[in-house]
């Protein structure tokens, strides 16, 4: 795509915001504000709202609108806003985009169609229609472990030249595809954003433009330092901060559900709640203690 005048560049550290909830399951906007202010003051570039870590598939349409309004109000324009439309069909994504259009997010995020198997032709058509209808640039979200439909590299490269497509968040964990993509010919304004925390440094060192991180809700400073080091060409500092991120990843490795572990950790830090939107997906007391032990080892609590 060709970047429009005044359009913000998709780059840098973009936390995939958790959605704190109360004991009754309602969005806890008091805790959300604390979390957004923490991330904003640390120097993040944007916010990824109602995505996988934000439990977007479990939020109501009204809750998503309220989240976008709240984050926009707290951020005050300092960060760009990426609004995720985690919907199974093109028609559903377009309907959700219509709900957000007057709130003016900076980017719309969409996944490949899911539930049924989709050909690459169908995936290309899906994103082409979304890009044509969206009032703001679209981010391709490649997360086949949830959609069961991989956006293959050839399709990504085709879409990279489509008007109104800003870039891709690659959460495949397949660095072969990422490496091939980063070293392929695409329009200069197309951004490659890493979505797997273990691969952030590798992607940056190969020319990646930034990362979307759910884990960074817990401790965002290593991500910000790593990105700034990559911009400055300080490879040693990039690697040092990747090591810190790998150590933080232990909160996910010691528990069966990654998002629940991230939410629990923010709860221990006073910026979130351990409860998942679907309460039965929350961690047990024993699992919570394992998360706390990792945080203690890292001297975060």
Distance of alpha carbon 192 from alpha carbon 166, whole angstroms = 9
Mean pLDDT (whole number) for 186-209: 97
- The domains found in the chain, sorted by start residue, are 12-232 (3.20.20.70)
- Give the mean pLDDT of 83-87: 97
Give which of 60, 86, 79, 69 is closest to 210, Cα–Cα.
79
Burial classification of residue 66, based on how many CB atoms lie within 10 Å of its CB (0-12 exposed, 13-18 middle, 19 or more buried): middle
Let me know: does 52 contact 86? Beta carbons within 8 Å.
yes
Q: Assess whether pLDDT exceeds 70 at residue 232.
A: yes
Radius of gyration of the chain from its Cα atoms, rounded to whole angstroms: 18
Question: Which one, of 141, 257, 115, 127, lies nearest residue 196 by Cα?
Answer: 141
Helix/strand/coil percentages in the chain, nearest 5: 50, 15, 35
Under the banding of pLDDT at 50, 70 and 90, the label for residue 6 is low
The predicted pLDDT at position 5 comes to 59
The two tokens of residue 245 are 């991120």
Strand-pair partners of 199: none
Report pLDDT for 4.
Answer: 60
Q: Which two tokens stand for residue 261?
A: 């572990």
Structure tokens at 19: 């959605």
Write the pLDDT tens digit of every residue in 237-268. Answer: 999 999 999 999 999 999 999 999 999 999 99
pTM for the predicted model, two decimal places = 0.96
Condensed to tens digits (0 to 9), the pLDDT of residues 215-230 reads: 999 999 999 999 999 9
2 pLDDT higher than 60: no
Q: How confident is the model at residue 68 (pLDDT cuts 50, 70, 90)?
A: very high
- Position 151 scores a pLDDT of 98
| Structural contact between residues 139 and 168, judged by C-beta atoms closer than 8 angstroms | yes
Query: What pLDDT shows up at residue 7?
Result: 80
Spacing of C-alpha 9 from chain mean position: 16
């Amino acid at each position: 795509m060709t970047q429009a005048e005044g359009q913000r560049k998709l780059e840098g550290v973009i936390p995939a915001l958790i959605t704190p909830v109360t004991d009754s399951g309602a969005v806890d906007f008091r805790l959300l504000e604390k979390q957004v202010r923490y991330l904003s003051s640390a120097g993040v570039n944007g916010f990824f709202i109602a995505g996988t870590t934000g439990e977007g598939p479990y939020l109501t349409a009204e809750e998503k609108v309220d989240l976008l309004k709240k984050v926009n109000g707290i951020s005050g324009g300092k960060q760009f806003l990426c609004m995720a439309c985690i919907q199974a069909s093109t028609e559903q994504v377009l309907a959700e985009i219509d709900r957000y259009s007057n709130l003016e997010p900076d980017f719309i995020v969409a996944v490949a169609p899911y539930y049924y198997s989709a050909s690459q032709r169908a995936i290309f058509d899906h994103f082409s229609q979304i890009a044509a209808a969206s009032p703001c640039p679209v981010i391709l979200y490649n997360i086949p472990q949830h959609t069961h439909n991989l956006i293959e590299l050839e399709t990504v490269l085709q879409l990279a030249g489509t008007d109104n497509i800003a870039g891709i968040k690659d959460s495949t964990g397949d660095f072969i595809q990422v490496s091939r993509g980063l070293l392929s010919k695409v329009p200069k304004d197309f951004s490659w954003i890493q979505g797997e925390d273990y691969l952030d440094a590798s992607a940056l060192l190969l020319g990646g433009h930034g990362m979307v991180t759910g884990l960074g809700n817990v401790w965002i400073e290593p991500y910000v330092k790593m990105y700034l080091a990559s911009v400055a060409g300080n490879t040693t500092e990039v690697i040092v901060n990747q090591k810190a991120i790998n150590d933080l990843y232990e909160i996910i490795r010691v528990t069966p559900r990654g998002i629940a572990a991230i939410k629990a950790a923010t709860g221990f830090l006073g910026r979130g709640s351990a409860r998942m939107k679907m309460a039965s997906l929350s961690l047990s007391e024993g699992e919570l203690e394992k998360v706390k032990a990792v945080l203690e080892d890292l001297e975060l609590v």
